[in-house]
Amino acid sequence: GAGVSQTPSNKVTEKGKYVELRCDPISGHTALYWYRQSLGQGPEFLIYFQGTGAADDSGLPNDRFFAVRPEGSVSTLKIQRTERGDSAVYLCASSWTTNTEAFFGQGTRLTVV
């Protein structure tokens, strides 16, 4: 595609529910990243994929968070038992390699009520 696409744009969920956030990277980009941005802050790293494998998930805050990229293209970030503190904008980015600039999607705004 022309750019990184994220769905949904907005998600409101109740505390304790499960959510999935989808990222469709730029075609051909092998590196994919998830970041989280809270109000007034810069994005914070969550997880990095090179191809299908999670090369680094050190930024995931706890074991309620999990992400997959089964075919090396689309990725899904999964959050179990959501908490109000999970409310933030979740950003996905992709790049040709780790040595090139990353291009971001428009983000998914998650609100846990």
Partner 1 sequence: EDQVTQSPEALRLQEGESSSLNCSYTVSGLRGLFWYRQDPGKGPEFLFTLYSAGEEKEKERLKATLTKKESFLHITAPKPEDSATYLCAVQGSGAGSYQLTFGKGTKLSVIP
Binding partner 1 (rule: CB under 8 A), the pick from 25, 107, 110, 112 is 107
Residue 1 interacts with partner 1 (CB under 8 A)?
no
Q: Kindly tell me which residue out of 40, 63, 70, 71 binds partner 1, with binding defined by CB under 8 A.
A: 40
43 binds partner 1 (CB under 8 A): yes
Q: How many CB atoms lie within 10 A of CB 22?
A: 15
Q: What angle do CA 17, 21, 24 make, to 5 degrees?
A: 165
Q: Tell me the C-alpha distance between 19 and 11, whole Å.
A: 9
Those residues whose C-beta lies under 8 Å from the C-beta of residue 105, and which sit 6 or more positions away, are 3, 4, 5, 6, 23, 91, 92, 93
Residues 59-88 that bind partner 1 (CB under 8 A): 59
Q: Which is nearer to partner 1, 41 or 80 (CB)?
A: 41
Residues interacting with partner 1, by CB under 8 A?
Answer: 4, 6, 31, 33, 35, 40-45, 48, 55-56, 58-59, 91, 93, 98-99, 101-107
